[in-house]
Chains A and B, each alone.
Chain A
């Protein structure tokens, strides 16, 4: 079982703050790195899937970077809004049929 670590475990910020989370994963047998957002009472939804070292992806106020050589990814949220409150999950993908190993997630709460 891959060791995937996310930090921090939880985060409380004020509306308008910018924030970032970290995902650490084994750099061997790497195929892709996934980020998902999981809002309460909803299903997890994909934010980004990144494959190349140095990849940077952006969706609105959310962006992510990837370092496959050292085995980490950062997720950034600029100007957090209450609707960004969710659990953010990262998951490296091995080469075996799209299998993902999820980290425990970072729980973000954005206070108005």
Chain B
């Protein structure tokens, strides 16, 4: 089974702190994604990566950055956390498009609260 793990299930940080959310997948997937989920807004794509060191902005990249130094690991960085970044963050991975339409496999999510 594909396994996508995230470093924390719950995280509480203070405004202005630098926050790292880590995601690791064990299926050698090329694509990795970071979403946030807010009530009434569904899953919104923050950033994605289709290869090591490659990244693309999603629909809501402001206030975030990402890092992909190894194929299996994709990190989401909040340079200076703000209260409007309180949310559920989900990581996902999939095989590269062009090898068929491939489902995404999701991690368990990290619920981040910024005080």
How extensive is the interface on chain B, given as a class? 20 to 34
Cβ distance B76 to chain A, nearest Cβ, rounded Å: 16
Q: Is B59 within 8 A of A89, CB to CB?
A: no
**Interfacial residues of chain A within 57-109, with CB under 8 A of chain B in the complex:** 89, 91, 93, 95-105
Answer whether A102 and B43 are a contact pair too, CB < 8 Å, given A44-B106, A46-B103, A49-B103.
yes
Taken together as a complex, chains A and B put the C-alpha atoms of A105 and B37 apart, in Å, by 11
Contacts across chains A and B counted by CB atoms under 8 Å: 70
Partner of B44, one of A34, A96, A102: A102
Q: Is A46 within 8 A of B96, CB to CB?
A: no
Partner of B94, one of A31, A43, A98, A105: A98
A100 contact set on B, CB distance < 8 A: 33, 45, 104
Partner of B101, one of A93, A101, A105: A93
How extensive is the interface on chain A, given as a class? 20 to 34
For the A-B complex with A1-B59, A49-B103, A91-B43 known, give 20 more contacts whose Cβ atoms are closer than 8 Å.
Answer: A43-B106, A45-B106, A46-B104, A46-B105, A49-B101, A51-B101, A93-B101, A96-B97, A97-B31, A97-B48, A97-B50, A97-B97, A98-B50, A98-B94, A98-B102, A100-B33, A100-B45, A102-B42, A104-B40, A104-B41
